[in-house]
Amino acid sequence: MMATDNIIEVSEADFEYQVIAYSQHVPLVVDFWAEWCVPCRTLGPMLERLCLEAGGSFRLAKVNVDQNPNLAFRYNVRSIPSVKAFRDEKIVLEFTGLQSEPKLKEWLRALAPSSTDLLLEKGLSLISEGEWVSAMTAFQEVLKERPDSAPAMLGLAKSALAQGQVEEAQRILQSFPPSREFAKAETLLQLIQALIRLKNSENHHDNPLEAAYQRALRLVLRGNFAASLDGLLDILRDDKHFRDGEVRQVILGLFELMGEEHPLTHQYRQELASVLF
């Protein structure tokens, strides 16, 4: 076993202090194992390595069940390896048997978010506050560590778009990975493509609705989302099928850009429903 402050061997004598009491300060992952357990020989070193990589975000306690049968009985350990996570003196997560490294990492992230997880959370919070420049920096840092992070890619695209960097936002979303965020990326891409078409088109003053549509898109580029939505909804009031539904897709893209929690999203989503239905 690797000897560090965050990887320790515990026994029935010190379990109460080293695990239960200590879990009030930092999460404890307890690995119940034995010398004769073949899967333990794979899982144990994997847990130790991930603990070292976590840099103190959780502590790993090793319990040899042969030497500590009362602890195994107390925590209902019927087969090994058995891993239980303690936080605030309670078991909050557990599993039995050998796990793949990706599943183990996901399990550990649920227990103790890494610095990268916290940075992602910070970026998402900055987006909700409209702090697009700071959010972009946060997402760029996340992507240095996790290049395929879909939430960070979506956040970076939003941050770029909100600052008028339309082509950059398109570049990010065109290589978007399959994920839970994929549908959101597609919705945002509809708005981006409309803005790119605007840049490549000529002004159409002879068609009032076309002129109004272009004005609304320019307001998006200026960051005036409320005025843009007002203009887009006015277009739909005149013609619900203008540009074969493109206006509705642009509005949905704006909702995605602002986020579901934004007060404008809630307000204008209700207005959109009243116009269309």
Q: What is the pLDDT along the chain (277 residues), one digit of tens a residue?
A: 555 788 999 999 999 999 999 998 889 999 999 999 999 999 999 999 999 988 788 999 999 999 999 999 999 999 999 999 998 899 999 999 999 999 999 899 888 777 788 899 899 999 988 899 999 999 999 999 889 899 999 999 999 999 999 999 999 999 899 998 999 999 999 999 999 998 877 665 678 999 999 999 999 999 999 999 999 999 999 999 999 999 999 999 999 999 988 889 999 999 999 988 8
Can you give the pLDDT at residue 112? 76
Beta-strand relationship, 82-87 and 90-96: antiparallel
Model pLDDT, residue 200: 77
Parallel/antiparallel/unpaired status of strands 82-87 and 7-9: unpaired
| Structure confidence at residue 88 (pLDDT) | 87
Report pLDDT for 114.
73
Catalytic residue among 10, 19, 40, 77: 40
The span from the CA of 65 to the CA of 33, in Å, is 6
Single out the catalytic residue among 7, 19, 28, 37.
37
The whole-number pLDDT of residue 138 equals: 96
CA separation for the pair 6, 61 (Å, rounded): 8
Please tell me the predicted confidence (pLDDT) of residue 257.
96
Q: Which tokens belong to 80?
A: 């090994």
Pair 112, 93: CB distance under 8 Å: no
3-state secondary structure of 33: strand
Quick one: pLDDT at residue 63? Answer: 97
- 90-94 long-range contacts, CB within 8 A, separation 24+: 90/23, 92/27
Opening angle at CA 105, ends 101 and 107, nearest 5: 115
Q: Which domains occur in the chain, in start order?
A: 7-111 (3.40.30.10), 115-173 (1.25.40.10), 201-276 (1.25.40)
pLDDT given for residue 250 in this prediction:
96
- The tokens for 84 are 């239980």
Euclidean distance between CA atoms 21 and 126, whole angstroms = 35
Percentages (nearest 5) of helix, strand, coil residues in the chain: 60, 10, 30
pLDDT at 175: 86
In this prediction, residue 203 carries a pLDDT of: 64
Look up 51 and say whether it is catalytic: no
- What is the arrangement of strands in the sheet containing 7-9, beginning at the earlier edge strand? 7-9, 59-64, 28-33, 82-87, 90-96
| CA–CA distance, 235 with 240 (Å, rounded to integer) | 8
- Chain position carrying tokens 């195994």: 72
Tell me, yes or no, if 37 is annotated catalytic: yes
